[in-house]
Amino acid sequence: MNNDFQRYMDKELNQLEEEGLYNKIRTLEGPQGAWVKIDGKDVLNFSSNNYLGLANHPETVKAAKQALKNYGIGPGAVRTIAGTMELHNELEKKLAEFKRVEAALTFQSGYNTNLAVIPSIVGKGDVIYSDELNHASIIDACRLTAAKVKVYKHGDMNSLEDILQEKREGKTLIVTDGVFSMDGDLAKLPEIVELAEDYNAITLVDDAHGEGVLGSHGRGIVDHFNLHNQVDIEVGTFSKAIGTVGGCAAGSKKLVKYLKQKARPFLFSSAVTPPDVAATLKSIEILSQDDSLVQKLWDNGDYFKTNMKEIGFDVGNSQTPITPVMLGKAKLASQFSAELFKEDIFAQSIGFPTVPKGKARIRVMISAVHSKEDIDYALEKFTEVGKKLSIIN
């Protein structure tokens, strides 16, 4: 073993501990849900992106079991070599219908989808315009290209237009999160689409936190703003409201045809397993048929946010059920989270590099499966801990 390397890792890990940025990963002793079992006790779950409870829904679990019977567990190899299972094709057709686009292509995760799409469409001589709060998977995907990356101020359309005016050759891509996951605010998609028209740019919106949340039946941000066929590429993930795992890119038939030839995570990494695909299909079916889960999610989110504001917490500028409880220092945020855990509430603190330094917070993820009693219990405990740590009066 290389001793210098061991010492280097010790130093880095110690530094994270000192700054309150060391990630402590909790172990769940059962399925995802409104309550989860951790360290032998039931705790109210405010930390998952399982917005609609589909991660352990009887119908999605049943569909996964059936797929296991019909298709086995493994995909064999990448789709271009082993062939593609009809289940994957069926999901892609269903997704296109749900998103009201011509076609969709699935990947192993949302992260992989950005890594697949962005380097396939821009390269040397091209320019990417990226919101400063875009998700890490977008940042990493941009780094994988030889394109020039220009970052605009968060949600600031003047800042975007200023840099769009600079002279350039080659292709132009504007890329943004749909819902910003740590703050819960929305991209100004109508303005972005307009600017893209004015400056001949390609548009990509990563709708990870919009699917199952925004628009009719949770169709996402494009539906929310009624911008169908005006955004070139919608990137999505199944690991949030959809409750499973996987990612997708949606747009024109030509886009999907192109990505099947060019996207490296499609060409060099195998597809997700049949049970995942079947469960995802079921989630999309559930959403298409009935939007009561989406309605419940919004009702719960509004109830929690309104009350937290009244109690005196700073809950930022969220336009969605995501509720950041702003605390500032990472150490304070992790202390707050630890105090909540003592009271049987699992709400992780979030610090740098997931959010900017000095903007640490507890990010409360309300879901459709929380009851009013659950939320009232949380409001009571947030108040107690907030007073104890002198955050509210």
Ligand X SMILES: *Cc1c(COP(=O)(O)O)cnc(C)c1O
Give yes or no: 240 in active site: yes
Q: Which stretch binds ligand X (CB under 6 A): 58-66, 105-113, 279-287, 344-352?
A: 105-113
Indicate whether 110 belongs to the interface with ligand X (CB under 6 A): yes
Rounded Cα distance, 65 and 383, in Å: 43
Selected catalytic residue, list 130, 181, 337, 349: 181
Identify which of residues 301 and 386 has a Cβ nearer to ligand X in the complex: 301
Does residue 248 contact residue 265 with C-beta atoms inside 8 Å? no
Q: Which stretch binds ligand X (CB under 6 A): 108-116, 184-192, 291-299, 380-388?
A: 108-116
Indicate whether 47 belongs to the interface with ligand X (CB under 6 A): no
Give yes or no: 181 in active site: yes
Beta strand extents in the chain (DSSP E only) = 35-38, 41-45, 103-107, 127-131, 148-152, 172-177, 202-206, 233-237, 247-251, 322-328, 345-346, 349-350, 360-365
Indicate whether 109 belongs to the interface with ligand X (CB under 6 A): yes
- Cβ-in-10-Å burial (0-12, 13-18, 19+) of 314 comes to middle
Identify which of residues 126 and 177 has a Cβ nearer to ligand X in the complex: 177
Identify which of residues 130 and 137 has a Cβ nearer to ligand X in the complex: 137
Beta bridge partners of 251: 103
- Cβ-in-10-Å burial (0-12, 13-18, 19+) of 39 comes to exposed
Amino acid code (one letter) for 191: E
Binding mask 121-150 for ligand X (x = CB under 6 A): --------------x-x-------------
Give yes or no: 216 in active site: no
Indicate whether 239 belongs to the interface with ligand X (CB under 6 A): yes
| Rounded least distance, CB 342 to ligand X, Å | 29
Does residue 240 contact residue 49 with C-beta atoms inside 8 Å? yes
Q: Please name the residues in contact with 379: beta carbons below 8 A apart, sequence gap of 6 or more.
A: 304, 307, 308, 311
Identified binder of ligand X from the candidate list 99, 150, 209, 370, rule CB under 6 A: 209
Indicate whether 79 belongs to the interface with ligand X (CB under 6 A): no
Identify which of residues 266 and 382 has a Cβ nearer to ligand X in the complex: 266
Selected catalytic residue, list 99, 240, 305, 359: 240
Identify which of residues 179 and 332 has a Cβ nearer to ligand X in the complex: 179
Identify which of residues 110 and 301 has a Cβ nearer to ligand X in the complex: 110
Binding mask 171-190 for ligand X (x = CB under 6 A): ------x---x---------
Residues 242-301 that bind ligand X (CB under 6 A): 247
Residue-wise over 283-313: b if at least 16 C-beta within 10 A, else e? bbebbeeebebbebbeebbebbbebbeebeb
| Rounded least distance, CB 278 to ligand X, Å | 17
Q: Please name the residues in contact with 350: beta carbons below 8 A apart, sequence gap of 6 or more.
A: 182, 333, 360, 361, 362, 363
Give the ranges where 78-217 is alpha helix by DSSP (H). 79-82, 86-99, 110-121, 136-143, 157-164, 189-198
Identify which of residues 221 and 385 has a Cβ nearer to ligand X in the complex: 221
Selected catalytic residue, list 209, 224, 296, 381: 209
Amino acid code (one letter) for 246: G
Residues 187-206 that bind ligand X (CB under 6 A): 206
Does residue 108 contact residue 265 with C-beta atoms inside 8 Å? yes
> Which residue sits closest to ligand X, CB atoms considered?
110
Identified binder of ligand X from the candidate list 45, 47, 237, 367, rule CB under 6 A: 237
229: its two tokens:
């066929």
Indicate whether 318 belongs to the interface with ligand X (CB under 6 A): no
Does residue 279 contact residue 124 with C-beta atoms inside 8 Å? no
Could you tell me which of 237, 216, 218, 222 has the C-alpha nearest to residue 280? 237
| Rounded least distance, CB 239 to ligand X, Å | 4
List of residues contacting ligand X (CB under 6 A) = 109-111, 135, 137, 177, 181, 206, 208-209, 237, 239, 247
Active site (catalytic) residues: 181, 209, 240
